[in-house]
Structure 1
Amino acid sequence: MKRPSYILWLAACAGLQTLPAQEAKPEPAGHVFAWGFMDWKDMSTRGGTTKGSDATLLEGSKEAWKKLQEPGLSKFEKDRRAILAMAGNYRVSFDFTETLGLAENFKPTRPYFSWGTENVTLLEDRGEFISLQHSLVMYFKNDKGETDGPHVMKHWRQDWTWQDPELQVYQGDLTWKKLPTPNPQGRWSQAVFQVDDSPRYEVAGTWTHDGGLSTWRSDDCPRPLPRREFTIRKDYNVLEGTHEISITPTGWVHVQSNRKMQVDKDGTRTCRGKELGVDRYEEITSPDLATPFNAYWAKTGDYWKDVRDTWATVLKEKDTFSMKNTYDDKQLFEIHFDHADKLEKGEDAGDDLQHAKQTIANFLNP
């Protein structure tokens, strides 16, 4: 299995960010979604520019969708089946459009669009707890039209907990605080973790099932800026908003309504603008994503479990914690992935658990 260049890997890391994408196509002249009077040339999409291989979409419906539609299910079981239906092999697209700004003479940033092919694997199912691991599995087209790959890159993770009594709530400045869950009865929390398994955000919400539509709607939720934003924006430091996840016959759709907030150390809050986002997961039958992921996970999965377990201990023991952005001029994901790379190559990487514990400890502030 070939390993992508470090620059390409870096571009694909840290939550929702630049992913491999087809070459940008010009917007239809005369109208841009949400900005009908803007010149379409000024609003061409930004995002990934690497050309990915063609993907074949699934025809018909997923088995997980059919199981979700079975009659006589309890509300709890419907919730569970909706979460489990998110596992699969997908063509994933990320679309974000700024809808308003509050600065004088405001001009919207260019809309963001990118896509990739992603495997979502069920890591754990304990009934009232479900964990799903996302991994990019990418094939690229070179200048000659030849396919290069697969390249496997561990991506983000989502953990779902039934009636979770407490949440890790982002406070800004890479700081999280443990707080009671508002009205946890009958609801599920979704905890989202970065590519290095460090926390990103956690929020509670409710699944509803009506007329064949299963949707989870979250409470309002603060989180760190994604790469697609912090690489171009310095005027705000917290992204707040709500999430809706809806299950479709061939995948799922994640809709975000976000506010761009500057939150100062004294608690002063200033809204810079708002955005809408649509992340679309469409099941594919080719290229093969599961086999390359399973091969990668067979070599590195034990180490990543040590990383998850170490973080679980930190989150259990600490009511509040904050993180350093870098340690020895490296980011957390770099150190973890360097270790995993050695394991993937069959090299002696040393004690996995000790490496996980020491690495995470180095990034935690006293």
Structure 2
Amino acid sequence: MYKSLKAGLAALALLATLPAAAQVDCGKPDCTAFNADRAAILAMAGTYRVKFDFKETVAIAPGYEPIEPKRSGGFEAVRVIEDTGRTIRLQHLLVVKGEDDKPVVIKHWRQDWTYEPETVLTYEGPDQWKVTPVPAAQRTDAWAQTVWQTDDSPRYGGVGQWKHDRGEHRWISGETGRPLARRDAVRKPIYDRYFGTNRHALTHQGWVHEQDNAKAGMRDGKLTTIVHEVVLNSYVPSTDFDFQAADDYMAKTATFWAAVRKHWDDIAAQHGGIHLVQEADNGSSTGKQLMELAGKVAKGETGTADAVSQARHLITGATGPAAATAGASRG
């Protein structure tokens, strides 16, 4: 009892150090840790200067030489687009300057957090995702993080627990499969997927997303790790950009993207997963067209209802039996 009381008091103390978040009933007698987790997730929302740092470290396969490190950055707004208590969705939006010096908004990745999930959508190999059951023993106090691409098609999903100790608030996933990112796919490397572990951690100034990746591909008929990679994506609070442009874009396209998200979810539920061809330049094969549709909605060139109808038709065609057959023959 003393240990439980001590842990509860510690959790209450850490809540005071995090941004205010509504206290939500998790369905258990004590929701203190649950609400500390929620506060940590919600603390990732904001406006940031971001830096992306990728470094291949150790060649595992003989004959492979790690490539030079790659660094990039910019400005990004992270917004809460849904919060039902046990599910939180965070949308990332890059803001860059166009040729006329006006802000250009690029809808970036999305991270969905689900408390004690029964299933998680996982990447199973080239062009294929699967609705994977989460064993009951792994659900308790755990959160699934599902990451989605720019067009809200799937990227990867994993499960882990938030920890609030040592003066740190962090979440660490199990190892998760994921398709190649554009930075690698356009080079046509000998590996074709990643197996990565994620850590999200709040810092004294923003937060970081760290990855420990194994880049793997087929060699002699066997899936083989080629090289290891470490990734550090840092988010430092900043208002040195026109983040209002990001909010305006989301306001204009919110209904469209909500319908797109739902259709992806419906496809996964209907088929027990998603088959979707990936392209080096666009990510998913639906990426370019869905982003263009959203752009037309934002500019008032296409009505939302018409754009949603076109998006559903596009997604259904890209994930149906014909697409799966074509992908199987291609692989």
Partner in structure 1 of residue 271 of structure 2: 318
Aligned ranges 1:27-106 → 2 under 5 Å: 65-67=18-20, 74-106=32-64
Partner in structure 2 of residue 227 of structure 1: 182
Distance 1:337 1:173 in 2: 23
**Structure 1 residues 84 and 106, CA gap change in structure 2 (3 angstroms):** same
Partner in structure 2 of residue 300 of structure 1: 253
Contact kept in structure 1, 2:95 and 2:241, CA below 8 Å: no
Partner in structure 1 of residue 66 of structure 2: 108
Partner in structure 1 of residue 199 of structure 2: 244
Contact kept in structure 2, 1:130 and 1:161, CA below 8 Å: yes
- Shift of the alpha carbon at 1:210? 0.7
- Shift of the alpha carbon at 1:130? 0.2
Q: 1:162 aligns with which of 99, 115, 139?
A: 115
Residues 157-214 of structure 1 deviation map (CA, whole Å, 9 limit, x = unaligned): 1100000011111111110112111411110000000000000001001100013310
Q: 1:341 aligns with which of 254, 275, 295?
A: 295
After TM superposition, the structure 1 stretch with the greater mean CA deviation from structure 2, 154-163 or 344-353, is: 344-353
Contact kept in structure 1, 2:267 and 2:273, CA below 8 Å: no
- Shift of the alpha carbon at 1:100? 0.9
TM-score, normalization: structure 1?
A: 0.75
> Identity, % of aligned pairs?
36
Normalized per residue, the structure richer in helix is 2
**Structure 1 residues 336 and 265, CA gap change in structure 2 (3 angstroms):** farther
Contact kept in structure 2, 1:324 and 1:365, CA below 8 Å: no
Name the aligned partner's letter for residue 84 of structure 2: R
Contact kept in structure 1, 2:88 and 2:113, CA below 8 Å: yes
Tell me the number of residue pairs that the alignment of Structure 1 and Structure 2 aligns. Answer: 293
Distance 1:305 1:364 in 2: 19
Name the aligned partner's letter for residue 264 of structure 2: W
- Shift of the alpha carbon at 1:234? 2.5
Q: Secondary structure at the match of 1:90?
A: strand
Distance 1:254 1:84 in 2: 15
Contact kept in structure 2, 1:325 and 1:363, CA below 8 Å: no
Partner in structure 2 of residue 214 of structure 1: 169
Distance 2:239 2:272 in 1: 44
Distance 2:132 2:90 in 1: 24
RMSD of Structure 2 on Structure 1 (CA): 2.5
**Structure 1 residues 194 and 176, CA gap change in structure 2 (3 angstroms):** same
Q: 2:159 aligns with which of 204, 208, 226?
A: 204
- Shift of the alpha carbon at 1:110? 0.6
- Shift of the alpha carbon at 1:73? 8.0
Q: Which runs of 5 or more residues in structure 2 are unaligned? A: 1-15, 22-29, 322-331
Distance 1:179 1:309 in 2: 19
Contact kept in structure 1, 2:115 and 2:141, CA below 8 Å: yes
- Shift of the alpha carbon at 1:302? 1.1
Name the aligned partner's letter for residue 194 of structure 1: Q
Name the aligned partner's letter for residue 175 of structure 1: Q
Contact kept in structure 1, 2:294 and 2:307, CA below 8 Å: no
Name the aligned partner's letter for residue 254 of structure 1: H
Distance 1:318 1:265 in 2: 32
Q: Secondary structure at the match of 1:343?
A: helix
Contact kept in structure 1, 2:60 and 2:228, CA below 8 Å: no
Distance 1:225 1:87 in 2: 26
Partner in structure 2 of residue 12 of structure 1: none
Q: 1:276 aligns with which of 224, 230, 242?
A: 230
Contact kept in structure 1, 2:297 and 2:307, CA below 8 Å: no
TM-score, normalization: structure 2?
A: 0.82
- Shift of the alpha carbon at 1:261? 1.0
